[in-house]
Structure 1
Amino acid sequence: MNIFLSIKKHFNYDKLDKQEYKRLVRDIIMLNIIIFHLLWMVFNSLFETEIVRDTLFYLIPYPAFLYQDYIFDNFYIIEIGFMCFYLMEFLFSWREAYRLKTYAKWYFYPFIHFYDLIGSFPGMHFFRLLRIFAMLFRWHSNEIINLENLGIYRTILHIKEIVVEEISDAVVINVLEGVKDEVNTGEYGNNKFLNDVVKPYHDSISHLVSSKVMNVVRKVHIEREEDLKGYVDVLIEDAVKENQEINDIKLIPVVGNYAAGRLEGAISDIVNNVVNDILKDISSEKNEEVLKDVVYQVIEGALFSKDKNEDSQLVAELTNKVLEEVIERVAVKQWQVREQMWEKQKQDELAEKRKLREKGLHKKSD
């Protein structure tokens, strides 16, 4: 209980304003009173048992008789006193919340702090424990204390994360399985999927694809220009060898081979220039709208044409594949991954400490 009285040692109240500081002091006082009251009730319940009462009468007979005659037999009066004190504190806190406009309506306070109200009455000890937990978590949220330094808090938080993750994963997987069934049975309809999901982003998809195509063409053209020129030259050389007219030119005495070679070179230059100009035009900004229109028409014809049974089947298969990947990812238990990571960190820390200890022993032996 002393840890709650040592304010400066255990609480970070430097950033609190005057009102928050008063609230903190009142909370600390109430926390100590609640803990004292709960411990007193535990002792009084134990005193009611024969073995504890006989032991106390044997060890400290006079104080035990006084406690039985004046306190134990009249403990209900003490409980009523505590009840009145708790109710007064509750009404004071309610008035304070109304004055500070903490909640939108004045009558919200008793519903939000129901554990304070119910815990005021005798026999409702569990709700007083809830008040302690609520108080500690409020301090933690306001960065007055840091519960993460407590192992029990980290354990409770980890268990909560496991429960939440297991429930949420089960719900998500169940929903995705239902979507898969609808896609497979055709109840949702691929046409509806395309119209509801793809159609609204038709322009954006066209712009994205056209931009990607332009960037790729520009990059490949710069990096592979010489390779492309060599490839075109090889194709032209093969075509020239198979062309009968050029072979006939080679038969002309004296100038035949020279003329055929010059003709082949001219064809190669023309074709290379045409290919380079085409690639530059495709990747230039002035033709971005043209390329976007082409991509738009391709998407329109591929996905939204009237005759697309095969496309519908493909969309269904792709949708199922995506859903399966998502389900597989959701099914991965992240809390197990975190535990494995923590275990690895612990092993690394132990190994590091072992190395440091061994170095220290070596230095001492030297």
Structure 2
Amino acid sequence: MLKINRENLKASHEAPWLFLDMIMLGVLFFNLLWLLFDALYGTDAVFAWLYDVFPTMTLAYQPVHDNFLFVELGFIAVFLTEFVVRWIAAVVRNTYLRWYFFPFVHWYDLVGCIPLAATRIFRFLRIISILHRLHKFKIIDLNETALFRFLAFYYDVFVEELSDRIVVKVLSDAQKDIAAGSPLIDAITHDVLMPRRPIITQWAASTLNHLGTSIMDPEHGKVIREHVLNSVGKAIRGNVHVNAMKIVPVVGSTIERTLEAAVTDIVTQSIINLLNDLSAAQIEEFIKHGLTHESEEEQALDREVLLVVNEVLELVKHHVGEKRWKVELAAHKEARAAAKQTEI
């Protein structure tokens, strides 16, 4: 049973529209029930049964059935009036960017007003739109209804089944590409990256040159210089020949510190020179050699990596193939069974 949240109703200032929505819901339900009754009245079986049970009422309704179009036009007049009222309210509230957007957004209301059997089904969308509007303002909570939970569960089942099949199909195609030597990756390399190699190499050279300049900066290069100092100092202190200098009286430690500082400066400056002197042509040669000259060990490693990727995709397919909705349904049945045992 739907409950109306009075606090949210007051906060939304939608009380008049809620009243209108309730009236329209009643009119819609009455109209749809009348349409169903009139359609059944037109069948021989229902007409004969009604005539046997309520002969006077059946004969009295016959003129209404013969002129039901005029009854339908009365309902349509009510629907169109409500539509125009909401259109005017939307224009006053500036709900949409343009005043004429309203009929395009609520096209189903207009289509449902056409007195044809094929278009009357769109009146159900009007009911759904009213309920959605009330749910949006948190005046009612559709999540609390059993019908919504039922529909939401089977909607999730449908989406899960459909998405699982799509994901498994995509992963299977990816496995086929990997088994075929990954032609997609080769196509990306040769058709996308290779034509842009000059731009990529120029960007890489500029980035490395900028990095070399940053190391020279007192602030930005401090971290790199400290790292080089610690690394060189550790290497020098662990060197047997340098440790032998400590035996020299007085100047042994001084020589070690001087050597450590000198090597640090040499290594740092070597890195800076290497980065600053790199050109796009040198990087181009390096990339060209790396792409065309691959050892047998590297090829074997590539094949092993592709096998690992294939096994990972197989595990993902197995995980995706598991039906979570079956697990949820089984858990729900167990909970219901436990509740019944508790009641007993």
1:51 deviation in Å?
5.1
Tell me if structure 1 keeps the 8 A contact 2:21–2:130: yes
**Equivalent of 2:91, from 93, 98, 114?**
98
For the aligned residue pairs, the C-alpha RMSD in angstroms reads: 3.4
Question: Unpaired runs of 5+ in structure 2?
Answer: 194-289
Moved more, 313-322 or 101-110: 101-110
TM-score normalised according to structure 1 size:
0.57
- The residue aligned with 2:309 is 319
Give me the identity figure in percent. Answer: 32
**Equivalent of 2:162, from 167, 171, 179?**
167
For the pair 1:333 / 2:323, whether they are aligned, the reply is yes
- The residue aligned with 2:131 is 136
1:133 deviation in Å?
2.5
Matches within 5 A, 1:1-366: 10-16=3-9, 17=11, 19-50=13-44, 52-53=46-47, 56=50, 63-69=57-63, 71-123=64-116, 124-186=119-181, 187-189=183-185, 307=295, 308-354=298-344
1:314 maps to amino acid:
E
Distance 1:190 1:320 in 2: 17
1:158 deviation in Å?
1.4
Larger Rg belongs to: 1
Tell me if structure 2 keeps the 8 A contact 1:173–1:330: yes
Q: Any idea what the Cα deviations from partners look like across 1:205-245, whole Å, max 9, x if unmatched?
A: xxxxxxxxxxxxxxxxxxxxxxxxxxxxxxxxxxxxxxxxx
- The residue aligned with 2:271 is none
Tell me if structure 1 keeps the 8 A contact 2:177–2:184: yes
Structure number with the bigger relative contact order (C-alpha 8 A, sep ≥ 6) is 2
Aligned residues: 242
Distance 2:318 2:98 in 1: 46
TM-score normalised according to structure 2 size:
0.60
- The residue aligned with 1:274 is none
Tell me if structure 2 keeps the 8 A contact 1:183–1:189: no
Question: Unpaired runs of 5+ in structure 1?
Answer: 4-8, 197-302, 355-366
Distance 1:79 1:143 in 2: 33
Q: Any idea what the Cα deviations from partners look like across 1:243-278, whole Å, max 9, x if unmatched?
A: xxxxxxxxxxxxxxxxxxxxxxxxxxxxxxxxxxxx
Distance 1:191 1:40 in 2: 64
The 3-state SS of whatever aligns with 2:7 is coil
